[in-house]
A = this chain, B = another copy of it.
Amino acid sequence: MSAKYTIGLDYGTNSVRALLVNVATGEEIASAVYNYPHGKAGIILDPKDPNLARQHPLDYLTGIEVTIPAVLKQASKRKGFSADQVIAIGVDTTGSTPLPVDAEGNALASHKEFAKNPAAMAWLWKDHTGHAEAEEITAVAGKLRPQYLEKCGGRYSSEWFWSKILHCARVAPKVFAAAYTWVECADFIPAVLTGTQHPDKLKRCICAAGHKAMANPAWGGYPDEKFLSALEPRLARVRKTLPEKTYDVADAAGTLTAEWARKLGLKAGIPVAVGAFDAHLGAIGSGIGPGTLVKIIGTSTCDIMVADMAKKLPNIPGLCGIVPESVLPNFYGLEAGQSAVGDIFNWFVNVIQPTGEKTGSHESLTQAAEKLKPGQSGLLALDWNNGNRTVLVDQRLTGLILGLTLHSTPGEIYRSLLEATAFGARTIVERLEEYNVKVQRVVNCGGIAAKNPLVMQIYADVLARPIMISRSSQTCALGSAVAAAVVAGKPAGGHANFAAATKAMTAVQKKIFQPIPKNVAIYNRLYDNYRALHDAFGINGTNKDISGVMKDLLTIRDQTRD
């Protein structure tokens, strides 16, 4: 029997990638990337409003037409490869990234009238224009539907579905009126490929609905009309377009249409898996299972765990989602995250461009940073340049660097930013364990995990546990390909279930980063100070005495110099 392949389509913040994977071995045969041409690095910005971040849906579709033929072309150089061996497609996207669509399910931005209107574009996850609306939703849910908040960390976010739609209703009423409904990018792509984008046929995924739109089987799906009307009467119309049933990635959204099959050079009729967010499929691509925390470390971080639905799970304050089957069938999906990680390092390198240490590139700053011992710089930062997702769930927080002297170097600041993200990661692990979700294994993936051993060592030292790295450098796309293999099913040459599929198709690298006890001891002391700042600036009414923080950092610094 000839080899079988699946394709994972991974929609990131700046580009889309297609990955062609051998279903039996997980070997990544070919890969192609398409950078979204609209806006700045694929993101439509507004110089007057730093909260705005949109994407043109056209870029999403062009991306398919460019990348899939490209991977097939690369693979065709292999002896015996045929596009007919591709048995399914899986899709992951950023999110919550909803876009307004017309009554046929087509993107409003594809209408000439709206082609240049940012409100008619996809509202990227990191669009925070709806921050006031997020607070409003939190307040109204707190009064009317407290159960909604218990599953999303006690606070609704400006990154999420309803904040964006409500903000659109307020600031762009014409776009809002023209939109029949709003569709997550993760649902839009599989629907378009399978011709099921009509709202009557569209399958929506539990991953987006549950984590970002307050849908839960416990209360019959999406939030009820009465609640939404209390926020804004016009939302009732949107509610009517949302289905009761949602789907997980073991389901197929449909089968590839003849037209797309022709355009892409694939066989018509192969299944396309229901979509999910990049982090969730990244977790699968990293071999998630009970007790394993997968951290997808990119521009931001998503932290994913799963917990057996057969056991009772408490609500965990600050987690931005506890959703049945949002990652794997029969498991709760737990999602946490940091609003910016790589984005903070990129800000320092690209916006500040500090050239005080050689070139100011990531490489030269990493070189300078790795010469420093923990605590040696006397610096401490908060990783909140894009707000705090977990555990404070507050976008109206900002970054902070403390301990600056007249000698503080770019390398020292860079290291303090790396460490800040590690401290943010530790806050998440501590919260999970406080609520009895034991973290037995940490697997990191994403570009930073693969490329920066210094960051991984810092994470091992700050988290005081071994850090494994996913073998694949494209775990999200790989996870989508894994889902595709499950959706294709064993008879078609795929896999019977996720346990079998992840075992065959995923692995971790040999090199495991072990915590260094001396560093762990210093980071414990620095983390105490991080937590003092975290609570003082992040939690109303903390009233902590933080007058010791600067002095403690200097004491630690002086001790490292002994």
Contact = CB atoms under 8 A, between A and B. Distances in A.
Interface of A: 48-50, 340, 343-344, 346-347, 350-356, 360, 378, 384-386, 396-410, 413, 536-551, 553-554, 561
A548 to B, nearest CB: 8
Contact of A536 (B343, B346, B407, B536): B536
B543 A537 contact: no
A547 B540 contact: yes
Given A354-B354, A399-B403, A405-B398, A539 B547 contact: yes
12 contacts: A50-B405, A386-B406, A396-B550, A396-B554, A398-B554, A399-B403, A400-B400, A400-B402, A537-B550, A539-B547, A540-B545, A543-B544
B547 A352 contact: no
- Which of A354, A409, A551 is packed against the most chain B CB atoms within 10 Å? A354
A48 B407 CA distance: 12
- Which of A351, A408, A554, A561 has the most C-beta atoms of chain B within 10 angstroms of its own C-beta? A351
A541 B536 CA distance: 14
A367 to B, nearest CB: 16
Contacts of A49: 561
Given A545-B542, A550-B537, A352 B410 contact: yes
Contacts of A537: 546-547, 549-550
A535 B145 CA distance: 40
B406 A344 contact: yes
A455 to B, nearest CB: 18
Nearest to A549: B537
A397 B404 CA distance: 9
Nearest to A350: B356
Contact of A546 (B346, B536, B550): B536
A405 B399 contact: yes
Contacts of A408: 347, 351-352, 385, 399
A413 B547 contact: no
A378 to B, nearest CB: 7
A402 B381 CA distance: 9
B550 A397 contact: yes
A401 B399 CA distance: 8
A250 to B, nearest CB: 36
B351 A353 contact: no
A541 B547 CA distance: 7
A308 B360 CA distance: 55
Contacts of A549: 537
Given A541-B545, A549-B537, A399 B409 contact: no
A404 B352 CA distance: 11
A385 B405 contact: yes
A407 B561 contact: no
A536 B50 CA distance: 29
Contact of A340 (B378, B384, B399, B406): B406
Contact of A403 (B398, B402, B406): B398
A360 B355 contact: yes
A136 to B, nearest CB: 16
